[in-house]
Amino acid sequence: MAEIRAITLDLDGTLWDVWGVLARAEELLHHWLKTHYPVIAARFDATGIRALRAEVLENEPGIAHDPTLIRRACLRLAAEQVGCEDFCVDSAFRVFHDARQQVEPFDDVLPVLERLVRRYPLVALTNGNAEITRTPLGHLFSFAITAGDIGSAKPDPAMFHAARERLGLVPAEIVHVGDDPEHDVLGASAVGYRSVWLNRDGRDWPGGQRADAEIRSLVELEALLADWSGRV
């Protein structure tokens, strides 16, 4: 086994509860719309604009990898459907996006990453549009790559290849940690990374190639890496 020299991590669902973050961001956006564009707020509740996603993607399948483009398109469509011609999508999206960065890491995340970063560069790989530098964890990460940056979402190999090239390492020297069996585990394994499934909820494995390891919290990652280092 090659020595682990870097760790890549998924963000949403791995380091924080993404659905709580999105719900708060949508509520704040809806409150803002009530003040600035009440005709939109009257037609769509806090989750109603997100519900336009399927219609957006039917018309614009090429943006499916980029949640920022999807959210902006949903906002524009909502305005069109109520005849709001003076709608400023930039202002509305900024309200949502700023709130979307207000994440609360799971309890195990900050202390573990503060210890791991002393030994490994940490890299964020996300299909979402969280900006790691704007979160409480930003100071711990060397860099981040998003699906919007790269033009494709995990499990497509492009994001993993881009991280490996920027780190200057071979795939076997990188371990990827994430909560999604397909996007994270299968995606990382397919390019030769070592994969760790962070299964906080005790879900059953859905099938396919299993991760190199399964853990219930990031605390277990430290022991796992120590074990792997001992077997190099």
CATH number of the domain at 168, please: 3.40.50.1000
- What is this structure's pTM? 0.94
For residues 185 and 112, what is the distance between their CA atoms, to the nearest angstrom? 21
Is there a contact between 191 and 164 (Cβ–Cβ < 8 Å)?
A: yes
**Res. 185: pLDDT tops 60:** yes
Q: What is the pLDDT of residue 231?
A: 61
Condensed to tens digits (0 to 9), the pLDDT of residues 104-133 reads: 999 999 999 999 999 999 999 999 999 999
Token pair recorded at residue 60:
């614009």
Nearest to 137 by CA among 110, 174, 97: 110
Token pair recorded at residue 43:
């037609």
| Interacting residues of 32 by C-beta distance below 8 A, sequence separation 6+ | 92, 95
Instruction: State whether 88 and 191 are in the same domain.
Output: no
Q: Which domain holds residue 145?
A: 6-16+104-230
Instruction: State whether 52 and 137 are in the same domain.
Output: no
In a domain, 67, yes or no: yes
Instruction: State whether 75 and 128 are in the same domain.
Output: no
Quote the number of domains for the chain.
2
Condensed to tens digits (0 to 9), the pLDDT of residues 61-109 reads: 999 999 999 999 999 999 999 999 999 999 999 999 999 999 999 999 9
Q: What are phi and psi of 59, to 5 degrees?
A: -85, -30
Residue showing tokens 């669902």: 13
Instruction: State whether 71 and 156 are in the same domain.
Output: no
Instruction: State whether 139 and 93 are in the same domain.
Output: no
Nearest to 221 by CA among 163, 158, 152, 175: 175
For residues 3 and 93, what is the distance between their CA atoms, to the nearest angstrom? 43
Q: What is the pLDDT of residue 9?
A: 98
